[in-house]
Structure 1
Amino acid sequence: MALHKLDFEDFDEIEYHLIAIHTSLEDYRLAYFINQKLPINLGKSKDGIHISIKEGETNFSRFSYYDKENEVTWNLIQNKNEVIQQKNENSQDLFSNVNMEVSTKVYLLPEFKKVDYFLKIENTEEMITERIQLLLNTIENISTAYALDINKIKSKNNLIF
């Protein structure tokens, strides 16, 4: 019987760049403004990013675009969301038998809690990413946009979709 060995070098790792975006805009409005500044056409993806935590489950919105000509994939991903739990209080006081909704903030990348959105760009060069970052910073409602070092991200697995 033949023995097959796999080496980690046999697997192609998808190269991507990540830009953090700070803004108070809703996701669809941010996608609209990015489409105006960049030669892309981000559209709402049917497949959000599903995360399960002990408090419950949530979906992060995602807008995506695939540039066939340059073979570049673009994803605008929401970083902040909420999980709403129903809690029943059974106590003998004024608020007995009250159903309460408890909201918990959830982050796609918890180490970047202040970031509102991420722009993940696959198969592009760093120089192009720098130009994209400069263009994003010209959008009026974006407070700031900057590139992140993907080697320092602890929860990289949340970016696999």
Structure 2
Amino acid sequence: MVTHKLIYDEEMEEPFTLVAIHSSEEEYKVAYLMNQHLNTRFKRRRIDIDLPSKSLMITFPIFDFLDELNYAQFHLVSNKCRTVEASLQSSGGLFSEIDSEKVTNHFLLPEFKKVDFFLKIYSDFENVSLQSLVSQINNIAQIVSAYVVETETIKSKNNLIFD
């Protein structure tokens, strides 16, 4: 009797390109600006990306665009999520209640804390000119900078699974 053994050596992942974007604008404004300048049609998903934390559910807004002409799929996602926890402390006196707020920043990719947004690009073919795309993004006045991130250096790749 012959037995066949399957060995699973490496992870099967779809190749993607990741562009880091630095901007102080809100996520909907960045999507709008990219729609205006890049001739795209980013639309916000009804359901955001949820990442469970210790006691919180952290959500990151995501915008999608499917380019059927170039067989490419684009995802624009915020890297930062800010949570505010309010607490009320009383020391027992009549007017001695203390209000305090704890602000915590959470990141989709913690190793890139200075990046505001990521543009993830899936493409089966090399139809998307990456140099041209990055230069067009950099030409938008409200965007400080944009550059390609080497995907091999990303430690938390599982946070980039959006489906």
Could you say which TM-score interval applies, normalised by the shorter chain?
A: 0.7 to 0.9
Shift of 1:70: 2.6
1:82 aligns with 2:78: no
Question: Are the structure 2 counterparts of residues 146 and 4 from structure 1 closer, same or farther at C-alpha, using a change threshold of 3 Å?
Answer: same
Report 1:1-161 matches (<5 A): 5-8=5-8, 12-92=12-92, 98=98, 100-123=100-123, 125=126, 128-161=129-162
For 2:112 and 2:95, locate their aligned partners in 1 and report how far apart those are by CA, in whole Å.
37
**Structure 1 residues 52 and 99, CA, compared in 2 at 3 Å: closer, same or farther?**
farther
Q: Which moved more, 1:107-116 or 1:64-73?
A: 64-73
Q: Quick one: distance in 2 between partners of 1:103 and 1:118?
A: 23
Partner letter of residue 110 of structure 2?
A: P
Tell me the CA shift for residue 99 of structure 1.
5.3
Q: What TM-score, normalized by structure 1, do the two folds share?
A: 0.85
Query: Does the CA contact (< 8 Å) of 1:49 and 1:59 recur in 2?
Result: yes
Greater per-residue helix proportion: 1
Q: 5+ residue gaps in structure 2?
A: none
Give the Cα separation in 2 of the matches to 1:6 and 1:89: 59
Distance 1:86 1:68, change over 3 A: same
In the TM superposition, residue 88 of structure 1 has moved relative to its aligned partner by: 4.5
* Structure 1 residue 77 displacement after superposition: 0.3
* Shift of residue 69, structure 1, vs aligned partner: 3.0
The normalised TM-score by structure 2 is 0.84
- 1:101, distance to aligned residue in structure 2 (A): 3.4
Q: Percent identity?
A: 37
Letter in 2 for 1:101: E
Q: Which amino acid aligns with 1:63?
A: F
Structure 2 distance, partners of 1:61, 1:125, is 27
Q: Deviations over 1:107-154 (max 9, x none)?
A: 111111111100000115397122211110000111100000010011
Shift of 1:3: 6.2
Over the aligned positions, Cα root-mean-square deviation in angstroms equals 2.7
Q: Is the 8 A contact 1:55 1:85 kept in 2?
A: no
Q: How many residues align?
A: 161
Displacement after TM superposition at 1:83 (Å) = 2.1
Contact 1:55 1:83 survives alignment (8 Å): no
